[in-house]
Each structure stands twice: as C-alpha cells, then as structure tokens.
C-alpha cells in the first residue's frame, strides 16, 4: 500500500473521493438547496445520488472496455483529432475545479479565521503547498489522506452528534411541497458535484486493483451521500428553511455553535475550518494532478516542471478572478453545470458506444 510505485490502494482512493466530494458539497449545497427546494432538498440529495450510481454504471462499462489508460481509450474511440479535443476539454475542466476549490478555501479562511488577512497571501501560500503536492506524486497524496481520514472523520461525527439535540423536527415541514422544475434543478445541482467521480477514468492506471475501482467508488458515493443527507436534515431542523437559505457555509456555522463539554478545545473554530480545509485542499490537489497529467500527455512532455508552473499560474488566475469578479464566479458556475457536466458525460457515453461498435466489427 505504501510502495513508491505510482499506485494507490482502493482504500486510499475511497477516502480521497470522500474528501473530494464531501468538502465542496457540504459547504455549497445546503443553502442553495434550501433556497430552491426547502425540506425537499433532502429528497433531491437522494435523487442526485441515484443519478450518480447511473453514472457509475456507465463508468463501469468503460472500465471493462479499457485496455490501457484513458488516453488510449479515447484515441480508439475518437481518433487523433477527437482525442485532442477531449484532452483540451478535460484540462480546462480540471483546472477550473482546482481554481474554484482554491478560491473556496481562501474564502472560508478569510470568513471564519483571518478576516484581516490578504486573499492573495493566503492563495499564494496555498499554491506553494499545491506545488509540493505535485512533486510528491499520487502515492504520497494517498498516504496523507490515509493518515488524516479517521482523525477528521471522528472529530466531525462528534460535533454532529452534539448538534442533534438542537433539531426541531417541526422545521422539516412542509414535505414534498416543491415544484417539479425546482426539484429537478436541485437534483442536478447535487449530481453535478458528485459527477466529479468521472475523473476516475484518468485515475484507473494508478489504482493497485483497477478491476475493483467501480465498487470502491460506489462505497465512497454511499458514505458521502449519506453524510450529506444527514447534515442537510440536521441543518434544516436547526436553522429552518429561510435561515438556512441565507447562511453561507452553513455547516461551518453549525459546527461553530457546538459547545463541547468541559471547555474541550477552546479554539474550536480552527479545528472546524481545518476539517474543510483538508477536504477542499484534497480536491484542489487532485484536480491539479489531473491537469498536469493531461497537459504532459497532450504535448508528449516528460519533465513536469514547466507544466506545473503554468498550471499553478492558471489556478491562481481562476481563484483570483472568482474573488474579484462576481460575474466571473457566476459564469464559471454556469459553465460547469450547463457545459462541463453534460460534455464530460457525453464523452463517456460516446466513447463506450464507439469502442463497443468498433470491436464488434473487428470480430465479424
């Protein structure tokens, strides 16, 4: 499991996926779902998870047909030119997620810990940490999240347990009151973040047991989805629909209200932000890894020094743009849901169909 062979174990992949999805989903979705769907946002979470399992079924079909890495698979499906388009798309997709994750980390720290600090200073320090992650390799990333997973999970569960007593179940009403279009929109918001599992197609060659990757991803989705569902009901039962809809980073706000017995951990705010910092950093680091990998393959490069510098600059530019321009931030979100998610799924569907058809012809 800890060999320096560029491979990571299934357990490490599962924990990495949980970090990647949970951090962003638990921070961004509750207030948006509350504003759109109220209590029915909990049902939208379940429907989003169901859609994610349909996506996993599609990925499983692609996994079975892959004879090498995803780049070779794309080439077999779309040829040279089509593969170049896919690589360019996935490069900008991954770099945009990395930049948005960096922005969210900095925003979270500034809002909850270092209100007087400069956004640029925090972002630069974060990217220096990201540069270290690039040269650590995929196996070192797996080790880090292997070590901190249970520490953060236990702390989170303890704080959630102390919050349960504050739930007012009357705030869970009215139920199933949402309009059809709003409900579908909320479901798609959930599915969009969970759809990041599609990058497993690139991660498969780095997996120690690739034949079990689909089952591992399914378990990660179940854990993350169940936790998100529980947290949403908890937030709804404590804040109510209107208050939750108007509370940014509501799960962090909830955690800051928790009082542990005996005055244990006086700087609880640091611990709370630390949980989401590691989760969001895992996402940023994971997407930077894919960006570097895709860029180097597209241009047939062996040295990752200059690609890494370029990608860190792009991450900085995207994060800075999100911070300084509300228009840019909203545009990025719109492009994600209206273009990136459908295109990424469309590529997987077409690749599966085209490869299957070509191989049938070969056997005729």
List the CATH number of the domain containing 117: 1.20.1740.10
**Closest CA relative to residue 23, chosen from 149, 186, 124:** 149
Indicate the range of 162-166, 206-210, 225-229 predicted with least confidence.
162-166
In a domain, 321, yes or no: yes
pTM tops 0.85, yes or no: yes
Task: Check residue 137 and give its pLDDT.
Answer: 61
Question: Rounded to an integer, what distance in angstroms lies between the CA atom of residue 26 and that of residue 181?
Answer: 23
The one-character DSSP state at 364 is -
Alpha helices in 164-267 (DSSP H): 180-194, 200-203, 213-239, 241-245, 250-257
Task: Check residue 133 and give its pLDDT.
Answer: 72
Question: Rounded to an integer, what distance in angstroms lies between the CA atom of residue 8 and that of residue 20?
Answer: 16
- Tally the residues of the chain: 364
Residue 323 has pLDDT above 80, yes or no: yes
CB 108 within 8 A of CB 249: yes
H or E element at residue 171: none
Could you report the per-residue pLDDT of 93-114, keeping only the tens digit for each?
Answer: 999 999 999 999 999 888 877 7
Residue 333 has pLDDT above 80, yes or no: yes
H or E element at residue 301: none
Residue 261 has pLDDT above 60, yes or no: no
Question: Rounded to an integer, what distance in angstroms lies between the CA atom of residue 149 and that of residue 36?
Answer: 32
Could you report the per-residue pLDDT of 31-76, keeping only the tens digit for each?
Answer: 898 888 888 888 899 999 999 999 999 999 999 888 888 899 999 8
In a domain, 161, yes or no: yes
In a domain, 346, yes or no: yes
The parent domain of residue 291 ranges over 10-363
Q: Residue 1: pLDDT band by 50, 70, 90 thresholds?
A: very low
In a domain, 257, yes or no: yes
Question: Rounded to an integer, what distance in angstroms lies between the CA atom of residue 146 and that of residue 354?
Answer: 38
In a domain, 357, yes or no: yes
In a domain, 4, yes or no: no
Residue 305 has pLDDT above 90, yes or no: no
Task: Check residue 250 and give its pLDDT.
Answer: 80
Higher-scoring residue by pLDDT: 229, 147: 229
Residue 263 has pLDDT above 60, yes or no: no
Pair of tokens at residue 47: 């429907």
Q: For the chain, what is the domain count?
A: 1
In a domain, 328, yes or no: yes
The one-character DSSP state at 206 is G
Residues 6+ apart with CB under 8 A from 164: 234
Task: Check residue 182 and give its pLDDT.
Answer: 80
Pair of tokens at residue 307: 């690609």
pLDDT (mean) for 6-16? 81
In a domain, 3, yes or no: no
**Closest CA relative to residue 137, chosen from 8, 11, 16, 6:** 6
Residue 143 has pLDDT above 70, yes or no: no
Residue 142 has pLDDT above 70, yes or no: no
Could you report the per-residue pLDDT of 15-25, keeping only the tens digit for each?
Answer: 888 888 988 99
């Amino acid at each position: 499991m800890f060999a320096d062979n560029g491979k990571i174990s299934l357990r490490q992949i599962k924990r990495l996926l949980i970090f990647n999805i949970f951090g962003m989903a638990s921070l961004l979705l509750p207030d948006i779902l509350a504003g759109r769907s109220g209590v029915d946002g909990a049902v939208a979470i379940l429907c989003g998870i169901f859609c994610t399992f349909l996506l996993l079924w599609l990925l499983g079909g692609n996994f079975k047909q892959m004879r090498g890495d995803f780049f070779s698979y794309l080439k077999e499906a779309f040829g040279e030119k089509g593969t170049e388009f896919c690589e360019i798309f996935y490069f900008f997709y991954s770099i945009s997620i990395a930049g948005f994750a960096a922005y969210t980390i900095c925003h979270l720290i500034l809002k909850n810990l270092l209100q007087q600090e400069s956004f640029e200073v925090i972002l630069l320090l974060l990217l220096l940490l990201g540069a270290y992650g690039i040269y650590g390799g995929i196996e070192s990333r797996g080790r880090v999240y292997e070590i901190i997973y249970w520490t953060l999970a236990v702390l989170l569960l303890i704080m959630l347990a102390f919050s349960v007593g504050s739930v007012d179940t009357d705030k869970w009403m009215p139920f199933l009151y949402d309009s059809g279009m709003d409900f579908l929109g909320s479901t798609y918001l959930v599915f969009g973040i969970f759809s990041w599992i599609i990058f497993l197609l690139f991660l498969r060659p780095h997996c120690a047991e690739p034949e079990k990757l689909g089952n591992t991803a399914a378990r990660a989705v179940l854990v993350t989805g169940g936790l998100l569902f529980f947290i949403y009901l908890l937030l709804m039962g404590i804040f109510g629909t209107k208050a939750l809809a108007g509370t940014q980073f509501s799960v962090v706000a909830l955690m800051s209200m928790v009082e542990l017995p005996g005055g244990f951990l006086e700087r609880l705010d640091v611990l709370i932000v630390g949980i989401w910092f590691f989760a969001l950093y895992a996402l940023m680091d994971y997407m930077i890894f894919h960006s570097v990998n895709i860029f180097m393959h597209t241009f047939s490069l062996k040295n990752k020094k200059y690609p890494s510098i370029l990608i860190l600059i792009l991450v900085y530019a995207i994060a800075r743009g999100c911070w300084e321009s509300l228009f840019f931030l909203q545009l990025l979100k719109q492009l994600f849901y209206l273009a990136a998610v459908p295109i990424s799924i469309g590529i997987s569907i077409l690749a599966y169909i085209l490869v299957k058809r070509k191989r049938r012809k070969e056997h005729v």
